[in-house]
């Protein structure tokens, strides 16, 4: 059963209604999904509010959908403020848009994210430092291995840094369109392509996302 905790809908720059994305994931046998549309102070309340409405509907198909956001291109020194605003808005899961090498993310974003225990996932963290990987391990922030080609060029580096310090890894899609969703088999291939052993890949594809969903549902 697949769990994907980083997706986008037409609430931000995706192409599907949240409910259609959930339906497609349910048909692909996903156990859980997260709506994590791009957000900052300008839209964070709307993003979470609208996502919650379709997350509730999707439960009819037996798929657990979390309503959250991906905090994106926020000044690093203001990140904690926006994370707090996301929680106040009711975000169940908080993803931070990491320092991918394919976009001009401000230096220091990774550092701010991994040092905030309220952050669940640091997405596509690019050339993350060993120090920041250690902070992620210490604060329970999962580091993302992504199937999105533009962000996935540093997957091997991220996996290597995480292994050295025992940080948790998670395989997500950063879905924006229907064809971006993947099967568990494909997720395993992506994980192992990043240099993980089969055992490490199972943790990133199954165990870590399951743990995150259980923790969030138990809040």
**CA separation for the pair 196, 218 (Å, rounded):** 30
Q: What are phi and psi of 170, to 5 degrees?
A: -140, 140
What is the domain count for the chain? 1
Q: What is the pLDDT of residue 104?
A: 98
Instruction: Give the tens place of pLDDT for each residue, 12-58.
Output: 999 999 999 999 999 999 999 999 999 999 999 999 999 999 999 99
How does pLDDT run across 85-100, given as a tens digit for each residue? Answer: 999 999 999 999 999 9
Q: What is the CATH number of the domain that holds 85?
A: 3.20.20.140
> Which tens digit of pLDDT belongs to each residue from 177-190?
999 999 999 999 99
Give the domain range for residue 58. 2-217
* Pairwise CA distance, residues 149 & 151, whole Å: 5
- pLDDT tier for residue 218 given thresholds of 50, 70 and 90: confident
């Amino acid at each position: 059963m697949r769990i994907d905790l980083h997706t986008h809908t037409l609430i931000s720059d995706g192409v599907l209604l949240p409910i259609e994305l959930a339906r497609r994931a349910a048909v692909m046998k996903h156990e859980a999904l997260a709506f994590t549309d791009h957000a900052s102070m300008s839209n964070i309340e709307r993003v979470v509010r609208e996502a919650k409405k379709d997350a509730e509907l999707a439960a009819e198909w037996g798929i657990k959908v979390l309503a959250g956001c991906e905090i994106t291109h926020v000044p690093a020194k203001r990140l904690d403020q926006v994370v707090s605003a996301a929680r106040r808005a009711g975000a169940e899961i908080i993803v931070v848009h990491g320092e991918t090498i394919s976009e001009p993310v401000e230096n220091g974003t990774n550092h701010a994210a991994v040092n905030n225990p309220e952050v669940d996932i640091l997405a596509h963290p690019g050339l993350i430092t060993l120090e920041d990987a250690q902070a992620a391990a210490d604060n329970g922030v999962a580091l993302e291995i992504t199937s999105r080609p533009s962000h996935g060029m540093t997957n091997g580096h991220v996996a290597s840094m995480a292994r050295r310090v025992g940080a948790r890894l998670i395989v997500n899609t950063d879905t924006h369109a229907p064809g971006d969703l993947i099967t568990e088999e494909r997720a395993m291939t992506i994980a192992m392509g990043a240099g993980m052993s089969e055992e490490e890949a199972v943790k990133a594809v199954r165990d870590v996302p399951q743990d995150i969903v259980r923790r969030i549902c138990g809040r």
